[in-house]
Copies of this chain bind each other. A is one copy, B any other.
Amino acid sequence: MVKDVMKIAAVQMVSAPVPEQNFIAARRLVAQAAQQGAQLVLLPEYWPVMGMHESDKAGYAEQETDAGPIQRCMSDIAREHRIWLIGGTLPMVSPEAGKVLNTTLVFNPDGERISRYDKIHLFSFTKGDESYEESRTIVPGSTVATFDAPFGKVGLSVCYDLRFPELYRAMGDCALIVVPAAFTYTTGKAHWEVLLRARAIENQCYVLAAAQGGLHPNGRRTWGHSMLIDPWGEVKTVLAEGEGVVIGDIEPHHLMRIRENLPALTHRKL
């Protein structure tokens, strides 16, 4: 079946400490992307809460059964622009008191929630003054998740998941992999682009990555470099730092041609 080209976009943010400010920024940036023709838009990791202190995030965790302001905001945006919205991540209530799940929710153009992924791999890093330990505030998910967009299957992952190639293999054959993220400046500079490109090449699919990118009010500095990569591993568009949108095409013909020329996905043995 031949499928049509679709324009897709990633929103880069430098999230503020207050969710309401981030709602306004997200609405504005997604509107920009939609005006440029994007029919699928990806927000970055923790876009409503990234600017606040770790310990405050749990206070904004939402329930799936009783949508809070973050979910309502995303549903509204998707419906308003008639787009697929992959909502970066938000904190969702977890079974452990004081901890959350770091969750991607996906909304269709009717504003309906159609998929959910809870981040599986939790980051920890220590080097000199820099130190992170996500498991202090986050409970990991355990289920691989994908959804069907008009151009094919979309695989969901979040930030640190990018270091684990087996997650992407477990998704099966995707046309697009998304990576909402908030890589640190240090690890982002060293590893972000090379890992994104490797996932595109080895899975022969598009990779869309939406990052936090800049200096946050809580003192964290994120790497940015939101980008769209094609199934041959070429970076089609990138935004280094600061708020903004990267936008480009999913071309199903291009993807099929690459897989015909180099049928690597049919050569898996292990």
Contact = CB atoms under 8 A, between A and B. Distances in A.
Interface of A: 120-122, 124-127, 140, 142, 144, 160, 163-167, 169-170, 187, 190-191, 194-195, 197-198, 201-202, 232-234, 260-264, 267-270
A125 B261 contact: yes
A166 B268 contact: yes
Contacts of A163: 201-202, 264, 267
Given A194-B233, A262-B187, A122 B165 contact: no
Given A267-B121, A269-B120, A198 B194 contact: yes
A150 to B, nearest CB: 28
A267 B122 contact: yes
A261 B270 CA distance: 30
A115 to B, nearest CB: 19
A202 B168 CA distance: 13
A126 B262 CA distance: 7
B198 A261 contact: no
A97 B251 CA distance: 43
